[in-house]
Amino acid sequence: MSNINLSAKEAYFEEQSLLNISDDEQDLPGESFDIINRALKDSKVMPPPPTLERQRSSFLGPTPKERLAEFEAHATRHRADTRPSGLKLARSSTAPVTELTKSFPVTEPRSNQLVGAESTNKLKRVSSLPDMTIASRTPFYKQMGVIPRELKNGKNVKPADNIKLELEAKQLLKGKVVYFYPNDDISMARRRRIHKVIQLGAAWVNRWRDDVSHIIFDDGKYTYSQLLRNLNKPGLPVRACNDQHT
């Protein structure tokens, strides 16, 4: 092989070897490359930069869900701190008392299969309260006064429980309380007058009361002074001084 061909081949292979060197390494060989390597060996390893915490909320602040979760967590901690330990459940003070419950009407549910006497027994009403309907039907003279004896002669005369009242339009003394002087129904004539005032809607009392609205003298021989001495009072209210001599 001639020297010219040999030189050409050497030049070619040198060019090929240069292709294996990267662009960054073209200027490194030499003294500067050694200086850089020594500097890298002497340098300390720097810690990695801190990672930024991910922002969980928008730029306007926490979202409604985050606020709700934070509030519930706070409330749970607060209840756990303030709740006393060792307490047991107690019965409410508003629970109905057994005795009071028994005094009110109790009706069991109806059943289609209950017929006749059996159904009557099942639907009995238990009540200790007074029957307002019966009270409202009681005549005024029985509710507020004394019941006089019947218009019969004798020693063992029964009370007059069935005095027939006048029509309501004719009851001129309706709702009044009448006191007679003398204050008994021994005399038949006085007993008739007592029956009459009751028929007119009043109630008769044989003892003085503060709610007496009318005083009736049985005879003209009795005076107001005698009445006061009998009652042992210095005077009477103006509303009760309706003297009537019959």
Note whether residue 189 is domain-resident: yes
Note whether residue 183 is domain-resident: yes
For the record, the structure tokens of 237 come out as: 């209210």
pLDDT of residue 74: 83
Do 151 and 163 contact (CB within 8 A), yes or no? no
Q: How do residues 179-207 score in pLDDT, each as one tens digit?
A: 999 999 999 999 999 999 999 999 999 99
Q: Which H or E run contains 32?
A: helix 31-42
C-alpha to C-alpha distance for 174 and 167, rounded to whole angstroms = 11
C-alpha to C-alpha distance for 206 and 184, rounded to whole angstroms = 6
**How would DSSP label each residue in 94-107?**
TSPPHHHHHTS---
pTM > 0.85: yes or no:
no
CATH number of the domain residue 228 falls in: 3.40.50
Q: How do residues 31-41 score in pLDDT, each as one tens digit?
A: 677 777 777 77
Note whether residue 222 is domain-resident: yes
pLDDT of residue 173: 94
C-alpha to C-alpha distance for 33 and 23, rounded to whole angstroms = 14
Note whether residue 22 is domain-resident: no
Note whether residue 54 is domain-resident: no
Note whether residue 98 is domain-resident: no
Note whether residue 216 is domain-resident: yes
pLDDT of residue 16: 67
pLDDT of residue 7: 78
Nearest to 163 by CA among 173, 178, 148: 148
pLDDT of residue 246: 44
pLDDT of residue 243: 47
Structural domain boundaries, residue 175: 133-245
Tally of domains within the chain: 1
Name the stretches of the chain with pLDDT < 50.
Answer: 28, 114-115, 123, 126-127, 243-246
pLDDT of residue 56: 55
Note whether residue 171 is domain-resident: yes
